[in-house]
Amino acid sequence: MRVLVAMSGGVDSSVAAALLVEQGHDVVGATLKLWGGPSDSGCCSVADVEDARRVAQQLGISHHVFNMSEDFEASVVAPYVAEHARGRTPNPCIECNRHIKFDRLLERARRLGFDALATGHHARIVPDPERPGRRRLRRGADTGKDQSYVLSMLGQDQLARLVLPVGDRTKASVRAHAAHLGLRTAGKPDSQDVCFIRAAEGREGFLGRRLALHPAEVVDLDGGPVGTVPAVELVTVGQRRGMGHGDDGRRRYVVSVDVPGRRVTVGGLDQAMTGTVALAAGTLRWVGDPLPPGARALAQVSAHARPVGCTVGRGPAIRFEQPQRPVAPGQTVALYHADDPDAVAGAGVTA
């Protein structure tokens, strides 16, 4: 099989390429140049490209750099800024997967004659036991490093052309294999931050260069003033940092953000809890057959959140079995099968 491996310069994609080479596949590495601005973290730096190139050299495979910076700006960075201007909290890494890695890159791999695209994500693609010829996306074997959440928007067409070589391995075994092969990325730390935001400037500095930030009043649920924030565009629903404490001494949480009205509403945790989250129209996508209204599932609202029981409603909406902290508009909610908790059923973006 001829496989194009997306090599980010990290240890997971390095070992993904190595395993495919060991299995006898015709492997070519590709690193994406996504961000044209300054970067000191993530997977877009010059050092990351060099690490990927050197690993490919060690493995004896060809390596290419694909410049997709214009697509990245249009599909990830610009929407990230626009969403904050609306008081929403997007997940740029998921949008990069949605629009760049598993759309543009996957299509380029097809046009170049590759049979499959491989990445270093910790997730597994397995046959669907109920539907011959179809696939299920399952959590990675290492539950602490599972990345099925950030792949939850993938459909059957994408899964059919995708290979995840490290999904059935623990992170420790991945590093051990890299060390055994002498790969320069064996001890490289995992990327944690948004690649286009420098640590020194943070989200405030980045967004402040791209949109006007406005101060806002902070009010309680009765509309009474309790403080101010320097930039309403940086406040997230569910946030507690910077919101102070109520008269009862308990922490306050953001219940809603009104950017045009320059107002942030806060309440106690019990007041902020919610039983339902609405999904934006057209964003709900299923890995396989859609779950019907009324079906039970497990919902995960962030990469490291604990899955919680829910019911799929109309609208579309997700009804939690127990009240949960509010989910910020713009976040992805991944749904897992109730009878197969490791298998992704689908995902949508909160309205």
Let me know if 96 is a catalytic residue: yes
What single letter denotes the amino acid at residue 119?
Answer: T
Residue 234 host element (H or E):
none
Sign of CA dihedral 54, 22, 163, 303: negative
| Helix (DSSP H) and strand (DSSP E) numbers for the chain | 10, 18
Scanning 89-211, the segments in alpha helix (DSSP H) are 92-96, 106-111, 156-159, 171-181, 202-208
Q: Are 112 and 3 in contact (CB under 8 A)?
A: no
195 catalytic per annotation: yes
Look at residues 95, 47, 93, 58 and name the one whose alpha carbon lies nearest to residue 75.
Answer: 95
Backbone phi, then psi, for 75, in 5-degree steps? -100, -20
Contact 216, 229 (CB under 8 A): yes
Residues 6+ apart with CB under 8 A from 58: 181, 182, 183, 184
List 43, 44, 93, 195, catalytic entry: 195
Active-site position among 43, 44, 96, 310: 96
Distance from CA of residue 287 to its chain's centroid? 16
Q: Which of 214, 5, 217 is nearest to 106 (CA)?
A: 5
Contact yes or no for 262/215 (Cβ under 8 A): yes
Q: Is 333 exposed, middle or buried (0-12, 13-18, 19+ CB in 10 A)?
A: buried
Residues with active-site annotation? 96, 195
